[in-house]
Structure formats: structure tokens, C-alpha cells
Structure 1
Amino acid sequence: MGTSLYFVADLGVSSYDAVALTISEKCKRIPFQYCRITTDILCVVIGFVFHVTVGIGTVITAFMMGPVIQWFNVHLSEPIRYGRKKES
């Protein structure tokens, strides 16, 4: 939730988070959640290549962080920042 709030608030992001955000903004057809999953998995693979212990928590986080952040963006952070859209 915290990550979603500071993304939407335009307070700046870390370099790691900026990769997925930049890709999703430049390639409008690819949603943020898929960009985040891809960058997270890429980092896990790089760690694995360098003999880092990759546990089940790391794998779950790599696959779930993007969708969770996107859900909070849509259902919490953006409505707080921009107000709820009128339903037609």
C-alpha cells in the first residue's frame, strides 16, 4: 500500500521501482503489473545466477508485488489523489 501511495503522489521513486514504471509509461500497451512482474523475476534470476538463496517468499513476492501495487493504485491511491470517477 505504501509503495502505491508514493507512486501516485509523485514524490519520486527508487531506481528499482522506476524501471517498471518507466517501461509501463513508455509502452502504454503493457500494464504496470506485468512490467513489475518481469523486472522482479529478472532480478531473482540474476540473483540465482550469482548463487543467492532464492526462497519461496522471494518467488511469491516476485509474482505478486506488481498485481498488489496495481490493485492499491486503482482502488485506494488514485481515488484518494484524484477523487472517485463518476459511474455512468
Structure 2
Amino acid sequence: NIYLRGFPPWEEDGWIGRSIRLGDLRARVLEKTVRCPATSVNPTNDERDVDLPGVLREHFGRNTLGLYLSVSRAGTTRQNDLVVVER
């Protein structure tokens, strides 16, 4: 997982089908990541004690959070690397 900051909320929705550079890594943005029910499982007791997809829908009107990428050129990424979304 890679956490990005410095972008407006949900800007990544417009990146689908585009290429990005992150450090030496190059990737194509495939689609949004839909949060599955497994994210609701408490890892200490294996019980579903929060409905994370439901919370996302309730508060943001969506159950997606993140993007799936296909790496086209492997590379090294480091904290604070610049992210470039190619046009």
C-alpha cells in the first residue's frame, strides 16, 4: 500500500487509465479499489464489529478507497517521493 498526500479529495478518480510515476516506479491506474467486508473484521477476535464499507457509503457516498495499479516498470519508491500523473 502507498499512501499519498497533497491531492484534493477523490482526485484519483480521474486517474483511471492514466500512467503515474512514483520514484523510479511506473504504473498504469486500472480501477478504484472497492472496500470488501473483510475490512470489517477485528483482527484480535475475528468478529465483524464495524461495517467499514457501510461507513464509507454513509459518510462519503461511496465504498471505494484507493486504486488498483499495474506496474509497468518496477522501481524504488521512498517516503516523500514526488508523484507524477501523466496526461
Shorter-chain TM-score bucket reads: under 0.3
Instruction: Give the TM-score, by structure 2 length.
Output: 0.26
Question: More helix by proportion, 1 or 2?
Answer: 1
Larger Rg: 1 or 2? Answer: 2
User: What is the TM-score normalised by the length of structure 1?
Assistant: 0.26
Q: More strand by proportion, 1 or 2?
A: 2
